[in-house]
A and B are shown apart, each in its own frame.
Chain A
Amino acid sequence: MKKLVTPLFAAALFALSSSLHAQVIVIANPGVKATEVTKADIKEVFTGNATTLKDGSRVVPILLNEGTANEEFLKVYIGKSDSAYRATWRSLVFSGSAMMPKTLDGDAAVVAFVMAHSGAIGYIDKESPHAGVKVLSVK
Chain B
Amino acid sequence: MINAFRSSFLGVIALVTVAAPVCAQSIEDLNLQFHGYATQSFLYTTKNNILTANSSDGSPAWTEAVVNLSALPQPKLRISLQVRYSIIGQLGNAFTLDYAAAEYKVNDRFGVRFGKVKTPSSLYNTQQDIDPSYMWSLLPQSVYPVLSRNSLLANFGGLAFGTIPLGEKFGKLVYAGYGGQISLASNDGFIIPIKDAGFGAPNGYGETLAGGSLRWKTPIPGLLIGAANSHDFTSSVPITYDAGLITGTFAGKPFNNQTFSASYDHNKFSVASEYTRIPFSALISLPAPFPYPHVPYSFDNRGWYGMASYKITGKWAAGLYNSQFFNHAAAKGPARYSKDWALSTRYDFNEYLYAKAEQHWIDGTAVLYDTWNNTGGLQPDTHLTILKMGVSF
Q: Which of B44-77 contact A (CB under 8 A)?
A: 66, 68, 70, 72, 75
A residues 81-139 in Cβ contact with B at 8 Å: 81-84, 86-88, 90-91, 93-97, 99-100, 102, 119
* Contact B82–A94 (Cβ < 8 Å): yes
CB pair B348 A95 closer than 8 Å: no
A81-B314, A99-B70 as given contacts; A93 in contact with B107, CB under 8 Å: no
Interface pair B33/A100, CB less than 8 Å apart: yes
B: residues with CB less than 8 A from A are: 31, 33, 35, 37, 66, 68, 70, 72, 75, 78, 80, 82, 98-99, 101, 105, 107-108, 113, 117-118, 126-127, 129-130, 132-133, 163, 267, 314-315, 348, 350-351, 392
Chain A neighbourhood of B80, CB < 8 A: 93, 96, 99
- Asked whether A52 is an interface residue with its Cβ less than 8 Å from the other chain, the reply is yes
Q: B351 near A86 (CB under 8 angstroms)?
A: yes
Residue contact A95 to B127, C-beta cutoff 8 Å: yes
Nearest-neighbour CB distance to chain B for A64, whole angstroms, equals: 15
CA distance A115 to B325 in the complex (A): 55
Query: What 5 A-B pairs have minimum CB-CB distances, sorted nearest first?
Result: A91-B133, A83-B351, A94-B130, A81-B314, A95-B126
| Beta-carbon contact of B70 and A119 below 8 Å | no
CB of A43, distance to nearest CB on chain B (Å): 10
Pairwise interchain contact B132-A87, C-beta atoms closer than 8 A:
yes
A96 with B75: CB separation less than 8 A: no
Q: 10 A-B residue contacts at CB 8 Å? A: A50-B163, A82-B351, A83-B315, A87-B351, A90-B35, A91-B133, A94-B37, A96-B101, A99-B78, A100-B33
Which residues of A sit under 8 angstroms from B66, Cβ to Cβ? 94
Residues of B within 8 A of A88 (CB): 133
Nearest chain A CB to B217 CB, angstrom units: 9
Given contacts A51-B105, A58-B107, A81-B314, contact A96 B348 (CB under 8 A): no
A79 to B221, CA, bound (A): 14
- Tell me which residues across on chain B come within 8 A of A97, comparing CB atoms: 126
CB-based contact B35/A94 at 8 Å: yes
* The one of B75, B107, B133 that contacts A94, using a Cβ cutoff of 8 Å: B133
Q: How many angstroms from the CA of A102 to the CA of B32 in the assembled complex?
A: 11
Q: Is the CB of A51 within 8 A of B107?
A: yes
Q: What's the nearest-Cβ distance from chain A to residue B126, in Å?
A: 5
Which of B133, B163, B350 has a CB less than 8 Å from the CB of A83?
Answer: B350
- Tell me the bound Cα distance from A51 to B98 in angstroms: 25
- Interface residues of B, dominant DSSP: strand
Is there an interface contact between B126 and A96, defined as CB atoms closer than 8 Å?
yes
- Which of chain B's residues have a CB closer than 8 A to the CB of A102? 31
Asked whether any CB of chain B lies closer than 8 Å to the CB of A60, the reply is: yes
Closest to B125 in A: A95
Q: Is the CB of B33 within 8 A of A96?
A: no
In the assembled complex, the Cα of A94 lies from the Cα of B129 at a distance in Å of: 9
CB neighbours of B70 from chain A (8 A): 93, 99
Residues of chain B with a CB closer than 8 A to A58's CB = 75, 107
B10 to chain A, nearest CB (A): 15
Q: Distance in Å from the Cβ of B358 to the closest Cβ of chain A?
A: 19
Task: State how many angstroms separate the Cβ of B234 from the closest Cβ of chain A.
Answer: 29
CB contact between B132 and one of A79, A91, A96 (< 8 Å): that residue: A91
Q: A58-B75, A87-B392, A95-B126 are in contact. List 13 more A-B contacts (CB 8 A).
A: A51-B108, A56-B107, A86-B351, A87-B351, A93-B33, A93-B80, A94-B35, A94-B37, A94-B132, A94-B133, A96-B99, A99-B70, A99-B72
Q: Nearest chain-A residue to B159 (Cβ)?
A: A96
| Distance to closest chain A CB from B345 (angstroms) | 16
Bitwise, A38-68 to B at CB < 8 A (1) or not (0) is: 0000000000011110001010100000000
Is B31 a contact partner of A94 (Cβ separation < 8 A)? no
A93: chain B residues at CB < 8 Å are 33, 35, 68, 70, 80
Q: How far is the CB of A91 from chain B (nearest CB, A)?
A: 3
In angstroms, Cα B321 to Cα A81, docked, is 26
B348 to chain A minimum Cβ distance, whole angstroms, is: 6
A32 to B98, CA, bound (A): 36
What residue in chain B is nearest A54 (Cβ atoms)?
B165
Residues in chain B near residue A119, CB distance under 8 A: 75
CB nearest neighbor in B for A81:
B314
Give the chain A neighbours of B314 by CB distance below 8 A. 81, 83-84
Contact in complex: B31, A99 (CB < 8 Å): yes
Contact B108 A94 (CB under 8 A): no
Our pick among B75, B99, B350 for the contact of A60 (Cβ within 8 Å) is B75
